[in-house]
């Protein structure tokens, strides 16, 4: 069945879109060139702690002030650099319903979650996975909510409970990328509210809050504060990428 499906719908690289070689099509989401680029990107080191980005827990000042328990990511995001493999993957997840890129990123993120739970001695039963919900205009434009997709796939990869906990306030908020750091935080505070029905399920739990990119950390910080107010014992942030400015600055 897999061979027939591949013949009818030849698998393509989740990053560059080139047809995958037949000998790796079933096991890989990236072509050899993009895989080599990805392996290089995940080895980039943090300018603050000097660890590879995937092992770095450095976070923005706003996230720290919100009492984020830890921040795990895979790579650095380079704004406007479409040629970089991680940017292509992120844009694909943001702008289409294509699943190969999202599935690949979820598999990579699942390793970070497994390492975190093992390191902290946290059982699966103690954890709830949730996400930063996308704005309604962007969802209508692209037909997808990238953080929700990633969290859902992560739940399948890790056997963790996935639960929506935050909602967007109707008619509030503007696109974050058009705002300065202070404006981003004010905008995020106006944009998000708790889902009251989820409060009982969060009491005393460890929550992992998922998003695709962290820039200033404003949305994460607001989400973390709300989740703690909803009863979460501790909240970890998890993202595909942290903006490259955070590699050396780390605070706003």
Give me the percent of the chain exceeding a pLDDT of 70: 90
Q: In this predicted model, what pLDDT tens digit does every residue of 205-245 receive, in sequence order?
A: 999 999 999 999 999 999 999 999 999 999 999 999 999 99
H or E stretch at 129: strand 127-131
Residue 252 pLDDT class (50, 70, 90 cuts): very low
Using the predicted structure, report yes or no on whether residue 111 has a pLDDT greater than 90: yes
Q: Is the model's pTM score more than 0.85?
A: yes
* Segment 56-106, tens digit of pLDDT: 999 999 999 999 999 999 999 999 999 999 999 999 999 998 889 999 999
pLDDT tens figures, 140-184: 999 999 999 999 999 999 999 999 999 998 755 556 666 677 888
Which strand (E) or helix (H) includes residue 109?
helix 99-120
User: Taking Cα atoms as reference points, which of 229, 220, 187 lies closest to residue 72?
Assistant: 220
Domains of the chain by range and CATH? 1-41 (no CATH), 51-248 (3.40.50.2020)
- Tokens found for residue 54: 């995937």
Taking only the tens place, the pLDDT of each residue in 235-244 is 999 999 999 9
- Residue 10: per-residue pLDDT: 77
Lowest pLDDT segment from 1-15, 40-54, 74-88: 1-15
Phi then psi dihedrals of residue 199, to 5 deg: -55, -45
Place of tokens 């209508």: 140
């Amino acid at each position: 069945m897999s061979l027939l499906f591949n013949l009818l719908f030849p698998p393509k690289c989740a990053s560059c879109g080139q047809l995958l070689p037949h000998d790796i099509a079933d096991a890989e989401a990236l072509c050899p060139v993009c895989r080599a680029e990805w392996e290089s990107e995940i080895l980039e080191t943090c300018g603050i702690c000097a660890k590879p980005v995937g092992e770095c827990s450095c976070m923005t000042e706003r996230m720290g002030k919100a009492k984020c328990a830890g921040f795990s990511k895979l790579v650095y995001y380079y704004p406007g650099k479409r040629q970089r493999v991680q940017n292509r993957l992120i844009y694909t997840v943001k702008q289409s319903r294509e699943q190969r890129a999202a599935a690949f990123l979820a598999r990579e993120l699942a390793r970070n979650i497994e390492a975190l739970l093992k390191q902290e001695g946290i059982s699966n039963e103690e954890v709830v996975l949730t996400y930063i919900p996308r704005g309604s205009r962007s969802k209508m434009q692209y037909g997808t909510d990238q953080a929700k997709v990633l969290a859902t796939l992560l739940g399948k990869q890790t056997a963790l409970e996935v639960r929506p906990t935050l909602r967007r306030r109707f008619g509030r908020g503007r696109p974050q990328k058009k705002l300065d750091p202070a404006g981003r935080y004010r905008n995020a505070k106006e944009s998000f509210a708790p889902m009251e029905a989820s409060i009982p399920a969060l009491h005393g739990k460890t929550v992992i809050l998922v998003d695709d990119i962290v820039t200033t950390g404003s949305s994460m910080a607001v989400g973390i504060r709300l989740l703690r107010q909803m009863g979460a014992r501790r909240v970890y942030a998890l993202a595909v990428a942290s903006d490259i400015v955070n590699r050396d600055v780390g605070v706003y």
